[in-house]
Structure 1
Amino acid sequence: MPMQYDAIIIGGGHNGLVTAFYLARAGLKVHICEARDIVGGACVTEEFAPGFRNSTASYTVSLLQDRVASDMNLGEHGLTIVNRPLNNFLPLTNDYLKVGPGVTESEVARFSEKDAAALGAYDQRLEVLADQMRRLALKIPPGLGLKGMAALATQGWPMLGLSKGEQHDLFTLFTRSAREFLDGWFESDPIKAVLGFDSIVGHFASPDTPGSAYVLLHHVFGQVNGVKGAWGHAIGGMGAITKAMATAAREKGVSIGLEERVARVNIVNGKAKGVTLEDGRVLEAPIVASNAGPALLFRQLVDRAELPAEFARSMDGYATGSGTFRMNVALSELPEFSVLKGHGPHHGAGIIIAPSLDYMDRAYTGAKAYGWSAKPIVEMLIPSTLDDTLAPPGRHVASLFCQQFAPKLPDGQSWDDVREKVADLIIDTVTAHAPNFKRSIIARQIHSPLDLERKFGLIGGDIFHGRMSLDQLWAARPVLGHGNHRMPVKGLYLCGSGAHPGGGVTGAPGHNAAKAILSDRFYGFARA
């Protein structure tokens, strides 16, 4: 006889765990089906070489919602997050730029006094706009119809309190390129490179692409230990977050099945009735919430015949592919940068190898034409400088987050055929700035876009479950009319990063989906 639950969650990533926690806290019998042999989805810590552990896919924390962390008592369940000593370090050919508390203005002044003077106003303006994102993060976007219009008015009303300049910049961020937005504030390449880097993280696009300015804003609306816009490290790696979440969920009665790969969502008379696993087992529930992305859910797990034709057509055009290539390396020593000798706070920063917006644009155009650029964009973090649990004494681990790499290669090539070659290129890119880097590598773990898809279910290797563009944001994420987490099959919900407010380790989509589910359950909609 099939196992019966009140709700089944597809995928044990952080948002799936959050949804499960809130539903179980409300008294529902909840089960999570996780395809891998470890809970956490792409937010995990794994050993990739003897004695060396690192965050496998997601690699840094800032966007995790305080409400979620508080409700789940993540601190009491062992989660500790520490701030980076510097936000960013940008090595250049013969110089460098450090960005962080107490140093940014004097550092930028070495390149432009005008830019240094503009920093305060820029930070203040961006903070006002980021507050709008924070305000909306834990709200369910409006649907269509009269209720949707009422929700639209309620959520949009506070924006009328912004000044004309703030309203202009908010509109600009959603519609213009990151370059256009930053050119309105700064003149020197280094500061525009550091700030503009956020616009292409997980975004297969150029900083010249219209709408790329929003992606910049998306990456600054977080906070760490009360410091807005800061980035930090979870002691034990990103898996410490999902480990604490899993503990919180289990305490509320959630059951978590590992190596339970869902083959299809079972739908009867237009209603979700549970799932069938690849091993043939059937799990029944009137509520199914998918932490898997929209592309995976609706192209592989839901029979197209069960979907309205217009929705199915929209899903055919749903854009995925973040242009991401991820590596982890075990190091015998810290990298020694040519432009800044010795060990220091810069080793604990996000080390950006992309000296200008032009460099980033060329990386994208190269990748579009050939699959990858001869000069890729790399952000390197060395979390072992902040966390001695990740590597043996005197050794280190580094995360290499790399852009731009096409989800599909031209001329019928496979990422399996070129992944080692591309990994060598990335290593050489870092070594050009830190000559000892290549020879210090003990082991490496490679995740091409295809690896990310196969291992984590990220279609096209998309770390955000779908492009973060204006047509796939807020009430239109994943498509207009279903931004409220309710899919066009009764009882089927979207709770992962393919829902509002999008990618990153936030917990917000999971929180909001649970809120929608409990609301529908209260009014009887999910069972209607």
Structure 2
Amino acid sequence: MNAQAPDALIIGGGHNGLVCAYYLARAGMKVRILEARNVIGGAAVTEEFHPGFRNSTASYTVSLLQPKIIADMGLVERGYRVVERPRSNFLPLGNRNYLLTGASLEATQDEIARFSKADAARLPAYYAMLESAAEILRELALQAPPNAGGGSLALLAGIRTARRFARLSAPAQHDIVKLFTLSARELLDQWFESTPVKAVFGFDAIVGNYASPDTPGSAYVLLHHVFGEVNGKKGQWGHVIGGMGRITELMAEACEDAGVEISLETEVAKLLIENGCAVGICTKSGEQIRARRIVANVGPKLLYDRLIDAADLPAGFRRMMDGYQCGSGSFRMNLALRGLPDFTDLPGTGDHLKSGIIMAPSLDYMDRAYQDARRYGWAREPVVEMLIPSLVDDSLAPAGQHVASLFCQQFAPLLPEGRSWDDARDGAAEAVLDVVESHAPGFRKLILGQMVLSPLDLERRFGLVGGDIFHGRMSLDQLWAARPVIGSANYKGPLEGLYMCGSGTHPGGGVTGAPGHNAAGTILRDRGFLGRWLG
């Protein structure tokens, strides 16, 4: 091995790769990041998509980024600032009716009471149930799961987790089992009777989840979206000033200050494998770069199906990875607007426009969207969430004008009958705009420019196989000690010298930084640091 070779070569400059690089470099390792694009940040980037208009073009809102990572990397001191949503969600329902949640528990109860006094009364207990489960997720997020065949460390991790679960009351254990196994509808039916109330909470169960709210296990995805915090407020979501790219810009600054080398426009074509060990990479341009450790901040499907020859992988591992499921059913649009939309159900401006605007009035609507996508390739009436970040961040658009993020479900990763998303993209975008127009007439006339990202575009642009924003389905068979597969839950690949630090590892998708943090811990423990540099 060349004496000048990096101690760690990280494939992919997304936020988890940056987090992993920072901790390794802080421990004294020589680290180099290779990023295929000309901008750092992976899917957490802020880009100009129309002259004078900038937006978070993929990942678009923050909550799950771990407070420990924010503190360790000094992000606040470097300029990290998040504006909380004054309201969580605005759900237009038609006929001049709507549900507006999140200003406070009492205000949300008052809103819900318009639909069901019983649901309003049950809301505090529902929140307490979610928070009890979310607290366990927070504890587990920065710990490596027990790994099959992992020896004493895996045994200790399993015992620690089992003890934590055993300390819970029987009702709390019962609730957690339900959250991990039930469909979102089954869970919500046990708590609420009102259709709009179930819709506003059920939406989180299909975000990045190519599934129906009736799919077993979809309740967990709901939970995954509530274990974060903003500015110390648990469960809160917010807008990063400067867009999501501001997070990764500041992370890159911290990395460079720690001595990390960042190479842009350096796309990896293959890993170099010798005698069952990962020893380097070959770039698209043909350059070979060797390193003592290869750390993949790309999804498992991309890594094992495209960057490593099948013959270099153990047969049992290949079989497990063949069944690894990708495809979140997501479709992204970024719009430059000449003005603000006016919603029929709640006209004018107000805090509702600063919230997550959810255009999906019922669980049945969400189920139909999924069934349509299975049948036709995309929902005839998609599920649409709109955010207008320029209302709290005037750096994103010219004065008096705005940008809108549209996050949309359900759109098949692969279209039926061999059709291509290149041919279907515009039709799908029109279906999305039809939904918005039905709630805010005249919306199309506000559009000055747009960026449309189909599942195929998300794959090409950000390396998200199947357009999967989570690097792999967040289902029980692909969570915790089974993420990405049994036997590789400790951030180690099946080859010596190969590690994983992306969202395809525990605790999964979202801008958390946790996989990068945990992978660094595994690498440092393997090197004999015993976690000292992770604090």
TM interval, shorter chain, is over 0.9
- Give the alignment's TM-score, normalised by structure 1: 0.98
Paired with 2:280 and 2:411, the residues of 1 have a C-alpha distance of 37
Match of 2:408 in 1: 402
Match of 1:294 in 2: 300
What's the Cα RMSD here? 1.1
Match of 2:311 in 1: 305
Match of 1:116 in 2: 120
State which of 192, 197, 219 in structure 1 corresponds to 2:198.
Answer: 192
Match of 2:103 in 1: 101
Paired with 2:367 and 2:29, the residues of 1 have a C-alpha distance of 49
Match of 1:336, SS state, is coil
**Unaligned runs of at least 5 residues, structure 1:** none
State which of 388, 391, 407 in structure 2 corresponds to 1:385.
Answer: 391
Deviation, 1:340, is 0.6
Match of 2:35 in 1: 34
Match of 1:10 in 2: 11
Aligned runs of 1:139-158 on 2, under 5 Å?
Answer: 139-145=143-149, 146-147=151-152, 148-158=154-164
Match of 2:326 in 1: 320
- Give the alignment's TM-score, normalised by structure 2: 0.97
C-alpha contact 1:177 1:207 (8 A) present in aligned 2: yes
Deviation string 1:285-313 (CA, Å, 9 cap, x unpaired) is 11111000000000011121121101011
Deviation, 1:436, is 2.3
Deviation string 1:197-254 (CA, Å, 9 cap, x unpaired) is 0000000000000000000000000000011000001000000000000000000000
Deviation, 1:376, is 0.5
User: Aligned pair 1:52/2:58, yes or no?
Assistant: no
Match of 2:439, SS state, is coil
Aligned runs of 1:472-511 on 2, under 5 Å?
Answer: 472-511=478-517
Paired with 1:412 and 1:158, the residues of 2 have a C-alpha distance of 48
State which of 170, 178, 183 in structure 2 corresponds to 1:172.
Answer: 178
Paired with 2:323 and 2:132, the residues of 1 have a C-alpha distance of 34
Paired with 1:18 and 1:408, the residues of 2 have a C-alpha distance of 32
Letter in 2 for 1:175: T
State which of 375, 383, 386 in structure 2 corresponds to 1:369.
Answer: 375
Match of 1:156, SS state, is helix
Match of 1:75, SS state, is helix
Deviates more, 1:323-332 or 1:74-83: 74-83
Deviation string 1:380-429 (CA, Å, 9 cap, x unpaired) is 00000110000000000000000000000001110000101111111111
C-alpha contact 1:5 1:283 (8 A) present in aligned 2: no
State which of 130, 136, 150 in structure 2 corresponds to 1:132.
Answer: 136
Deviation, 1:133, is 0.3
Letter in 2 for 1:259: E
Paired with 2:167 and 2:285, the residues of 1 have a C-alpha distance of 55
Deviation, 1:101, is 2.5
Deviation, 1:149, is 2.6
Match of 1:217 in 2: 223
Paired with 2:156 and 2:519, the residues of 1 have a C-alpha distance of 19
**Unaligned runs of at least 5 residues, structure 2:** 531-535
Deviates more, 1:325-334 or 1:278-287: 278-287
Deviation, 1:358, is 0.5
C-alpha contact 1:43 1:242 (8 A) present in aligned 2: yes
Deviation, 1:523, is 7.7
Match of 1:461 in 2: 467
Deviation string 1:410-466 (CA, Å, 9 cap, x unpaired) is 011100001011111111110100012111010010000000001111000000000
Paired with 2:252 and 2:289, the residues of 1 have a C-alpha distance of 20
Match of 1:25 in 2: 26
Identity fraction in percent = 61
C-alpha contact 1:384 1:397 (8 A) present in aligned 2: yes
Aligned length: 524
User: Aligned pair 1:247/2:285, yes or no?
Assistant: no
Deviation string 1:501-524 (CA, Å, 9 cap, x unpaired) is 000000000000000000011189
Letter in 1 for 2:228: G
Paired with 1:55 and 1:151, the residues of 2 have a C-alpha distance of 37
Match of 2:533 in 1: none
Paired with 2:318 and 2:166, the residues of 1 have a C-alpha distance of 36
Deviation, 1:141, is 0.7
